[in-house]
Amino acid sequence: MSGLVGVFHASGSKVDPALIASLMARQPSRGSSELDVMREEGAALAVSRHDWERTPEHSGDVLLVDDGEVVVAADACLYYRTELSQRIAAAGGRVDANTPAHHILAAYRTWGTACVEPLEGDFSFVLYDRRNRTVLCARDFAGRRPLFYAELGETFVVASTVSAVLAHPACPGDFNLSAIGAAAAGLIWSYGADTAYQAIHVVPMATAVTWGTAGLSTRRFWSPPPVGADRSSDFEAAALHLRELLGRSVTERMAPSGATAVWMSGGRDSTAVYGAGKHALSADSEGRSLRPISISYPEGDLGREDDFIQAVAARWDDEVRWVDIADIPLFDRDAERARSRNEPLTTPYENWNATLARETRAAGSRIALDGNGGDQLFRVSDIFLSDLLRRGRLRELRRELEAKRARGRRYLFEMTVQPLLPMPCLRLLNRLQFKGGGWDKHYLEFPIPEWIRPDFLEGTDLIDRQRSVLPQRGRRNREQTELHWLVTSPMPGYVLGVRQQRFLEAGIDARAPLMDRRIVEFALGRPRRERNRLAHDKFLLRHAMSSLIPDDVLAPRDRRTGITVSYSRRSMRESYPRLFAELLATPLRLAELGIVQPGQLKDSLSSYLVEGGEFRRIALFHALQAELWLRARA
């Protein structure tokens, strides 16, 4: 990914070149070997890029594209460029070169600020129009390329990283305690819409931000289509169409020659990416190949899918490049990694992703494909049970409940009855302590950990912050509401940004063919029964892969596989006593900010080591990482 920095003054005063150099220096992982800067009255725009990214399948060999009136800095990989060029030509425009920035410039000259709508790819960009002294910033709908900004009086600063924006001398460093508190509490779904600094904001996914003499405005340029509204084809035709869409998506994202890695588990998502890609290449490989890289788990581990992975590779006479999970530490140089992160929230699998990235380079590839998006698009949580009850489809509901009875009565009540009850009824259930209480909470809501100070909760919007970003209660179709939320929530984009940092360090680019906008819109349009039926899911995706993936891999399984909980649980139990002892030996920064009670944090750790508890286990991880992040900025 490229590094972008823009500084714009409404007063028209010149931008100090030393300032641009200072801001660019705060994002060295985004390429320091190649740099291009545009600086004139009231505006400066800079791009840095690694040499390996200056190829056609990445951001290209031209850093800044400037036609005299408009200048574009892009961190982008655009797909379906031939079709985009044809659309621009049909509208009377012209693309002067094949880089993503040239396409963005041509689209802007053709459609103005609506230029973002036809773009398909992983992108963020900053465009400056000299004619009206307007800045246009945008980010793709999946949010794989981060972009941040701050309004500092008459100055507008935008950059690829929080640290670069923060380095501007006019940018205050005041913490956003609500965001840091959410990170320390492990409230992951409420993170990503803002940053850990009050003055710095995220350019939201699928959003264009415009700044100029009229001030700042934002416009969402893409929204999910109506869920389940596509009745234009039957199930068989839909499966065939999905196979074609995915095959094209994979080939668009592959390297133009040589090997492209696929990070393949034994589930249905990454294997679908691999199978569809192999099928598409069998017609015309053009000297390209897909090579699976997989993590091996020991016999008996819930994460083990080795046999499924091997069967998929054997179907295509391929060899798997294996990584042993025992060689991937969950905790490694955590304080150092916290210093390099822009934000306090991270994922437990940073090293997992970094290892796969290094293996990709060792295999001779700069591009890796993953299965991200399959869960969001081709399955639905059991919240659809409440829709069946509301609609009076009792016979179907009974069959579904019988198939899911192993999940427990309370869980089924939460998915079926609770969403339909008005809040007074839920409060009454709490007072009666019906099945332990807790009924007035959202079904996706995480509890507040014991270590968060009560007065901090009262003085911030931590609880409302979480509830405000979850699927809204009261919507008539809860399945549709949840699916829309899954593809528009800022959290997945935030996680992808964290992962991309590690990928850049290894010198690779990770892409998600299932998050192709054509696939997203098609998948969301299909009916629910193609996603989830009788405790089994992903019917449409599995059927689309028929004959491309072995039947025993596609078939329903007696138990879930590919669950990494054993690996993380074991690592956390082994490492937590040492890690927290080191932290608690000195005053906690989280405590100094009034967020955490150190005694309660210590007691919660002791309780976890004795009693276990999945929420507490993960929340402790996030509290640890938030504290390390703050200490790195003391």
Same-domain check for residues 48 and 113: yes
User: What is the domain extent for residue 187?
Assistant: 3-220
For the stretch 345-348, contacts whose Cβ atoms lie closer than 8 Å and that sit 24 or more positions apart, written own/partner, are 345/182, 345/183, 345/188, 345/191, 345/494, 345/498, 345/622, 345/625, 345/626, 346/498, 346/625, 347/495, 347/498, 347/499, 348/568, 348/618, 348/621
Most confident of the following: 116-130, 226-240, 392-406: 116-130
Residues 506 and 558 in one domain: yes
Please tell me the distance from the alpha carbon of residue 198 to that of residue 179, in angstroms, as a whole number.
9
The pLDDT tens digits of the residues spanning 146-203 come to 999 999 999 999 999 999 999 999 999 999 999 999 999 999 888 888 999 999 999 9
What single-letter amino acid sits at 427? R
Q: pLDDT digit string (tens) for 336-379?
A: 999 988 899 998 988 999 999 999 999 999 999 999 999 999 98
| 470 DSSP β-pair partners | none
User: Is residue 45 located within the same domain as residue 145?
Assistant: yes
Q: What pLDDT shows up at residue 108? A: 98
C-alpha span between 291 and 249 (Å, rounded): 17
What are residue 259's DSSP bridge partners? 289
Are 60 and 94 found together in one domain? Answer: yes
The token pair that represents 133 in the structure block: 């002294």
pLDDT on residue 474: 60
Residue 519 DSSP SS3: helix
pLDDT class of 33 with cuts at 50, 70, 90? low
- Report the amino acid identity of residue 206: A
Q: What are phi and psi of 247, to 5 degrees?
A: -60, -45
Q: Supply the pLDDT for residue 21.
A: 93
**Residue carrying structure tokens 């993960």:** 618
Residue 230 within a domain: no
| pLDDT tier for residue 469 given thresholds of 50, 70 and 90 | confident
608 and 495, same structural domain? Answer: no
CB 191 within 8 A of CB 179: yes
Q: What is the chain's mean pLDDT, rounded?
A: 92
Question: How many Å apart are CA 583 and CA 606, to the nearest integer?
Answer: 15
Number of domains observed in the structure of the chain: 3
Q: Measured at the alpha carbon of residue 369, what is the angle toward residues 253 and 322, in degrees to the nearest 5?
A: 145
Domain end (from 188, 220, 252): 220
The strand pairing partners of 37, in sequence order, are 46
Asked whether 491 and 192 are in contact (CB, 8 A), the reply is yes
* Residue 387 is assigned to a structural domain of this protein: no
- The verdict on residue 404 lying in a domain is no
Residue 461 lies in a domain: no
Of 33-37, 121-125, 140-144, the least confident: 33-37
Residue 265 and residue 252 share a domain: yes
The CA distance from 301 to 305, in Å, is: 9
* Residue 434 maps to a domain: no
pLDDT of the residue at 537: 85
Look at residue 451 and tell me if it is in a domain: no
Asked whether residue 454 is assigned to any structural domain, the reply reads no
- pLDDT value of residue 32: 66
Same domain, 621 and 503: no
Q: Tell me, what's the pLDDT at 442?
A: 84
Q: What would the mean pLDDT of 69-90 be, rounded to a whole number?
A: 97
* 143 plus 78 within the same structural domain: yes
Residues 207 and 241 in one domain: no
Look up the CATH number of the domain holding residue 92: 3.60.20.10
Question: Is 123 contained in some domain?
Answer: yes
pLDDT of residue 512: 96
Which segment of 61-70, 262-271, 399-408 scores lowest on mean pLDDT?
A: 399-408
Counting residues of the chain whose pLDDT is more than 90, the rounded percentage is 72
- The pLDDT value recorded for residue 405 is 85
Do 241 and 208 reside in the same domain of the chain? Answer: no
Q: How far is CA 146 from CA 136, 254, 285, 381, 476, in A?
A: 15, 22, 33, 28, 34
Last residue of a domain, one of 540, 562, 584: 562
Whether the pLDDT of residue 547 is over 70: the answer is yes
- Looking at 562, 596, 613, the residue that finishes a domain is 562
For residue 283, the domain's CATH number is 3.40.50.620
**pLDDT tens per residue across span 244-297:** 999 999 999 999 999 999 999 999 999 999 999 999 998 777 889 999 999 999
Q: How many CB atoms lie within 10 A of CB 547?
A: 11
Residue 626 has pLDDT above 80, yes or no: yes
pLDDT digits (tens, 9 = 90+) for 315-335: 999 999 999 999 999 999 999
Q: What percent of the chain has pLDDT over 70?
A: 99
Asked whether residue 475 carries a pLDDT value surpassing 70, the answer given is no
pLDDT at 535: 67
| Same domain assignment for residues 161 and 282 | no
Going by C-alpha positions, the residue among 191, 486, 448, 172 that lies closest to residue 341 is 191
Residue 103 has pLDDT above 80, yes or no: yes
Tell whether 43 and 155 lie within a shared domain. Answer: yes
> What average pLDDT score do residues 11-36 get?
88
Report pLDDT for 8. 97
Per-residue burial over 402-413, b if 16 or more Cβ lie within 10 Å, else e, is: eebeeeeeeebe
User: How high is the pLDDT of residue 285?
Assistant: 75
